[in-house]
Structure 1
């Protein structure tokens, strides 16, 4: 059987090239994820689960949405690191910082045009959700740095002997409820994102994993 993973490649040049490609896919995926989140926010029909919390916190403070993405993410990574008694991964920290930076930049530069018509808002919502799913699948496939919720999900599942799906659902419900209680925007878009982001992310993850494995096979 041919090995596909980059760790087993003996060619130093090949290793460096593949690592660069993985980092490019990682950063591009993070940017597309942030672009999708900004598009959903601009649609004003409700936002993805965790952005309900981030926007709710932003409305209570003078800090931006992107800054709260970073703060909440760092807290989750540090909590997971503390509970598991492991150092936070550099890739995971970079993941958090880049998402918040890109999201703030996109919103502050008004890169996404706002519309008042319902049909236009629905189109923005769907496009944003698709972009979030594609971006998420890309950065996960790169294996450069997991998101903050990924580590916490696995820890909770292991600690309480429950399924990963249940663990993730509990985290999502907690974020959604907390965000809603502090004034985060919950609307039809929130529930649409719950059902659509997962399947789109899975398809993106499969696609990019196959592409990267093809690249590994060349070396």
Structure 2
């Protein structure tokens, strides 16, 4: 009877832990999209991939968020074909929600119609920090990598090139295509290449510790099925 109660408590704890991780994952996506929107509105340069998304939006008339979803889904599909593995459900949720969140944040009436230079800088650097922090949040949960992360790992594995080189080539290709399509490339775009990484790394470190604590609490409630030996029994 005690064992069944313990198993039931362990199941509830595991479910609670999973729910908390999903909440952190979803909030991370919203925070990331908010940072991306701030950078776009700053007019001092968008994140590398958003240059491509904006360029495609300008040429097609479709929203930036929709192109985030289209490009992301294509990358997930290509990575799966190359690696011959099914993607995580979280990867689809990741790219679909980021597209919706980004469009929603861009439509909010919270941005000054005519920004002063210091306001633009505030939105730019604030956007970089917010984007990096949100990326660290969702990555730390392990519920679904973004399409660029998945593509980077697959190509590095198949080509034998370093992850850093593959990621640089992908970022450079997206930036070039976006610029050719009319996407905004400015100083902030290049700053984001160097600044988002450190912020994201710090965020991953913080949130990974929080996720590890959750897992430790869950493991502490796993029922003991084997009899515990006492000193007198040895």
> Normalising TM by the smaller chain, what interval?
over 0.9
Report SS of the residue matched to 1:11: helix
After superposition, the C-alpha distances for 1:24-56 in whole angstroms (9 at most, x for unaligned) are 000000000000000001101110100000000
Alpha-carbon distance in 2 for matches of 1:115, 1:134 = 27
Map 1:101-116 → 2, pairs under 5 A:
101-116=100-115
Shift of 1:213: 0.8
- 8 Å CA contact retained: 1:137, 1:204: yes
Residue 27 of structure 1 is matched in structure 2 by: 26
Shift of 1:116: 2.1
Alpha-carbon distance in 1 for matches of 2:104, 2:123 = 18
Structure label with greater radius of gyration: 2
Residue 153 of structure 1 is matched in structure 2 by: 152
Residue 44 of structure 1 is matched in structure 2 by: 43
Report SS of the residue matched to 2:196: helix
- 8 Å CA contact retained: 1:133, 1:197: yes
Map 1:19-168 → 2, pairs under 5 A:
19-168=18-167
Shift of 1:86: 1.6
- 8 Å CA contact retained: 2:44, 2:188: yes
Moved beyond 6 Å, runs of 4+: none
Residue 197 of structure 1 is matched in structure 2 by: 196
Shift of 1:90: 1.0
Alpha-carbon distance in 2 for matches of 1:118, 1:171 = 31
Report SS of the residue matched to 1:87: coil
- 8 Å CA contact retained: 1:29, 1:137: yes
After superposition, the C-alpha distances for 1:145-176 in whole angstroms (9 at most, x for unaligned) are 11000110001111110111111111000000
1:208 and 2:233 aligned? no
* Structure 1 residues 126 and 114, CA gap change in structure 2 (3 angstroms): farther
Report SS of the residue matched to 2:82: helix
Alpha-carbon distance in 1 for matches of 2:178, 2:152 = 19
Shift of 1:113: 3.8
Alpha-carbon distance in 2 for matches of 1:95, 1:112 = 26
Shift of 1:214: 1.3
Could you tell me the TM-score, scaled by structure 2's length? 0.87
Structure 2: which 5+ runs fail to align? 1-8, 219-234
- 8 Å CA contact retained: 1:18, 1:216: yes
* Structure 1 residues 146 and 67, CA gap change in structure 2 (3 angstroms): same
Report SS of the residue matched to 1:218: helix
Could you tell me the TM-score, scaled by structure 1's length? 0.93
Alpha-carbon distance in 1 for matches of 2:180, 2:92 = 28
CA RMSD of aligned residues (A): 1.2
